[in-house]
A and B are shown apart, each in its own frame.
Chain A
């Protein structure tokens, strides 16, 4: 919003031009590394060494093919893990957030503060114990009545990533959902209760459909967090076939140490899912953040 509102004609004074110019320069600087990434992803090594500043000729589109075949496993894994995590987080956050917001029961405040307290606990404290925990959740082979169960180990499975992600992700989700549900008018719920609706039905048929905006914000924040996480997948998963993109791309960058084009193409490809996520969810995401920060 402009400092002075409601001008009929926008005047481009010298000040405004300077402002716009400055912002454009900053924009160029901010986008420069990514522009470089796109341009150089199409150049062969020889091109990069000999003709650094020129456009690729010929543009090596096949580098993207190489990068894709190397990385698509990682990317689809990450997307699957993100999807399942978001599902879990949405279910748990909305249920708990709704309960804290609209139910009254003994210990409600205490339980909520217990959850808030968890936000104080940094990842560095829980990294090693969670690793030990995941390693410990293992069942050896068991024979019962001629049927063989297991062996099962949580370490090095997708579950090792998904379960902690869901548990951690729901904390912020509960915070956001509770805030949202508190803002709803009580009459709606009163009417439903008078009509004899059960608590779960009220949650499912009234609260949940109304909460789509906040659920979108929670979903995007969670998905972003999962996609970007590096240390936990690095530590909990060693099998390349279920590894995530962040870890996979560093391995890829290492292997292709000498082939810069495909490496950069890989970086670009890995950005595509997030690009899609933001394109679809930019608005609810910004609304969620700006609304929350004004309260702060």
Chain B
């Protein structure tokens, strides 16, 4: 009976076959493999054999990993502020412009940084932070603040703040677009009744705009958390995790363990924990969403 039904719809299954073939090989298989190998000892050139929770015990005692988690938390908080606050302010500013043409023009030009490849942006900021010919130090000197110049990425105290500072003024194009779309979607009668009631300016922003943008903020928060936990390419290029461990993060640790030291099993375990963390945040985000919808 079931076979008959499947045969009747064979066209549909055929259409989906290429998709699932690709997904099986390049997505499902690696995902399951990653989960499995977290529990194995697996070095380059060797075969993997099961060692249960030993990798995780090793992680608990890993000093480098512990310090990297501290950095990661700092980066998470900083990136959340960067993504949720600045683009929102700019979106509100754009929203309040009377001239629609000006709004479109400014919005488009603010998106220009998206045109530059991410790696180029990172390298440019490495250049800005250069102790000798970097923009930052030269600007400080020109302003008479030569005492403040330093090796921003080479100094243990300033490396992490410098990494956070990358992208100043942090107007994320994606966030800006999402917020602006959300603001524009606010029904005109809501805005009109606010104007009639005398709720304008800050009062309106606080009581009307922000609650209505909760969905967008949630989406961006989720994307930011997931992105920050995984992004180590820029750190690899800017500082390599240094100086010392000043900018080291768990994902970078995973990379080094696998591709510099060849400890694939241990690295998989780190990846596994990162995956669980991301999953936990995503689920929490969805729960938070459901309750917000019920209340609001």
Given contacts A92-B19, A128-B264, contact A31 B251 (CB under 8 A): no
Question: Is the Cβ of B229 less than 8 Å from the Cβ of A124?
Answer: yes
CA distance in complex: A203, B14 (Å): 13
Total A-B contacts with CB atoms under 8 angstroms apart: 269
Q: Within 8 Å CB of A245, what residues of B?
A: 117, 119
Whether A66 is near chain B, meaning CB under 8 Å from some CB there, is: no
Range, interface on chain A: 35 or more
Q: Are B99 and A125 in contact (CB under 8 A)?
A: no
CB of B133 closer than 8 Å to a CB of A: yes
Per-residue A-contact encoding for B57-97, CB less than 8 Å = 1, 0 else:
00000000000000000000000000000000010011111
Which chain A residues lie closer than 8 Å to B30 at the CB level? 125-126, 129-130, 133
Are B29 and A115 touching (Cβ within 8 A)? Answer: no
Does A243 interact with chain B (Cβ within 8 Å)? no
**A295 (CB) vs chain B CBs: closest residue:** B215
Interface residues of B (CB under 8 A from A): 2, 5-6, 9, 11-13, 15-16, 18-20, 22-23, 25-31, 33-35, 37, 90, 93-100, 102-103, 106, 108-121, 123-125, 127-128, 132-133, 135, 138, 142, 168-169, 171, 174, 177-178, 180-182, 184-185, 188, 191, 195, 215-216, 218-219, 226, 229-230, 232-233, 236-237, 251, 254-255, 258-259, 264, 267-268, 271-272, 274-275, 278-279, 282
7 closest cross-chain pairs (CB), A and B: A167-B26, A105-B9, A290-B181, A129-B33, A129-B30, A230-B233, A167-B22
Q: Which residues does A use to contact B, with CB under 8 Å?
A: 1-5, 7, 10-11, 15-16, 19-20, 22-24, 26-27, 29-34, 36-37, 48-49, 52-53, 91-92, 95-96, 98-99, 103-106, 108, 111, 115, 118, 120-133, 163-164, 166-168, 170-171, 174, 199-200, 203, 227-228, 230-231, 234-235, 245-246, 249-250, 253, 260, 263-264, 267, 270-271, 274-275, 278, 282, 286, 289-290, 293-294, 296
23 contacts between A and B (CB under 8 A): A1-B184, A4-B191, A16-B98, A20-B97, A23-B106, A27-B109, A33-B121, A34-B124, A36-B124, A52-B142, A53-B142, A92-B19, A103-B15, A115-B23, A121-B27, A125-B30, A132-B264, A167-B22, A199-B11, A230-B237, A245-B119, A282-B111, A286-B177
